[in-house]
Structures are given as structure tokens and as C-alpha cells.
Amino acid sequence: MDRMDLFDALNHSMTALPTGGFSTHSESIYFFQNPMVELILILFMMAGGISFIIHYRAFEGKKSHISRNIEFRYMLLLVSLTTAILFIVFLADEGALNSLRISLFQTVSILTTTGFGTSDIAGWPVPTQTILLLLMLIGGSYGSTGSGVKMLRAVVIVKALVYSIKRFTLPKSVMLRLTVGDNTIDYDEITYVFAFFTTYLLITFVGAFILTAMGYGGYESASASLSAISNVGPCSIPLFIENAEGETVTNDDWFRMPDSGKITLLLLMWVGRLEIFPVLVLFTIFFKKRRRR
């Protein structure tokens, strides 16, 4: 990578493709302040955030499969739309080039649930932070290294809502099918997706409630809980703040979090990475065995 030594290059490559987001520097990617480094990492993060089935088809030479993949198309649409919105917001303060760099990099980093940073999102306006929280919720594609609800489930939810509205507005004699790409989605699949989504939000809310009880603000708690269960990292609680003397110091809200708060975030990360239902099945089997005793 440009202006990176071999150690940094290897470490960031290995945490970009698996969408891990760990950096060898506390400032993350902002440390390098290099557009070429950011561009290469964007490509790596996107590669990790899309399904590895697409990678396999590409290696087979079936390039048309990439353009026809519904998740890939929606991911590009979401990246483009979010980047455009953030670009407009930061244009006046950052200028065109820097605004585009920050907007594109942070959009891809959050959507793929990597968590690299070229800017402290905790200092962004609340509406832009909320946009990033929605990206955290959606996450990467099925069969990718990304976490979150997953792009395909988000597409099914949106299409199911549109389908329901059409059912109310059109005559009952009209036959409608809920399709995603070339596939027809049946009732059981829709039920599963909404059950997963509801459970995901419920667990996020419980995590946020626990953090709120520890004295954190409601928005900060919600962002930390959602960031943890989506395995992203950055949230609305800043790592560094300015003290009364104007010096940049570590934020005690993070670094002196009670053990119960750390355990809560740890469990959220674990549950989110395993996609909830396997954990619920595990606990169900455990409690059933205890009852038999």
C-alpha cells in the first residue's frame, strides 16, 4: 500500500477483507491521511462485504452473475445514495475532494461492518450519525464476512412492506407474488425474516437499556448497542475528548466503563456474530436438559 510499511500493509489488508476493522494505530486509517490507502481499503472492504458466491462466479468467468445479484445491486445503490447525502452535508466545511473521501470511506466501512475510520463519527451531526446507524443495522451480504441484519433480509423486509401496501390498494382478484430477483418468497420465509429482524431490534434495545441504566445517554447507548451486535465498532460515544485546557484526552465514558457494561457489549457482539437464532437454540437445548434433571 502507498506510504505504508510492510507491517501496516499486511495488518490492514488482513483486517479489511475479513471486515474486522482493527488497526495498528489508535487513529485508525486517519493516521495515514492518504487517498490511495483509503481507495485500496474501500475495494478490500467491498470485497469482504459482498457474498463470496459472487467471488466464485467471477472466478468462473460468469461476470453477468455479479450485475444480476440483487444484494450487490442494492449495496451499490445504498453506498451511492449515502455517499451523496454525506457529501452534500460536509461539502461546505471540508471542500469537494475531502468531503467525497470521508463520505465514501465511512459509508463503505460502516455498511460492510468493518469499522475503519478516517473521521470521528461521534462528532458528526446527529442526522448523519443516524444514517450510519441504519447502515450498521443493514450490514453486509449473505455469505460475506460482514455482520448486521444482512442486505438480503433488508431487501425482503422492504419488498414485503411494499407488497402489503399493494394488497390493500388493489382488488382481491389481482394475483401478486413477492419476488426478490428471480426467486419467489413464500410466507414462511417472510415470517422468518421478520422474526429475525424483530429479535435483532429487541436484543439491541435490551443492550441499550442496560447501558442507559449505567448513566450513558439514550442515543449513545443505542448506538453502542447496535454497533456491538452488528460487529462494527465505531459509535456515538467518542474515544477522545477535549478537557478544560483544550487538550485531547481519552474519554473516561469508554475506558472506565463498568465490567457489567463490557460484558453486555461482549454478549451483544457474540450474539450478533452468530446471528441470534443459533444462540437461542443453544440456550433452549441447555434449559431443556436442566429441566429433565
**229: which residues sit within 8 A by CB, 6+ positions away?**
200, 203, 204, 207, 268, 269, 271, 272
What's the confidence (pLDDT) of residue 43?
93
Tell me the percentage of the chain whose pLDDT exceeds 70: 97
Q: Is the pLDDT of residue 174 over 80?
A: no
Determine the pLDDT at residue 93: 87
Higher pLDDT, 176 or 95: 95
Q: Residue 184's beta-bridge partner residues? A: 179
Mention every residue, 6+ apart, whose C-beta is less than 8 A from residue 179: 159, 185
| pLDDT of amino acid 109 | 95
Could you give the CA distance from residue 42 to residue 114 in angstroms, rounded to a whole number?
A: 10
Residue 242 has pLDDT above 60, yes or no: yes
CB 225 within 8 A of CB 237: no
Cβ atoms of residues 30 and 121 within 8 Å: no
Q: Quick one: how far is CA 117 from the chain centroid?
A: 13
For the chain, the straight-line distance linking the first and the last C-alpha, in angstroms and rounded, comes to 59
Q: Give the C-alpha separation, 218 to 278, whole Å.
A: 29
Q: Which of 113-117, 215-219, 262-266, 282-286 has the lowest mean pLDDT?
A: 282-286
Quickly list DSSP for 176-218. ---EETTEE--HHHHHHHHHHHHHHHHHHHHHHHHHHHTT--H
Q: Pick from 147, 141, 13: which is nearest to 76 by CA? A: 141
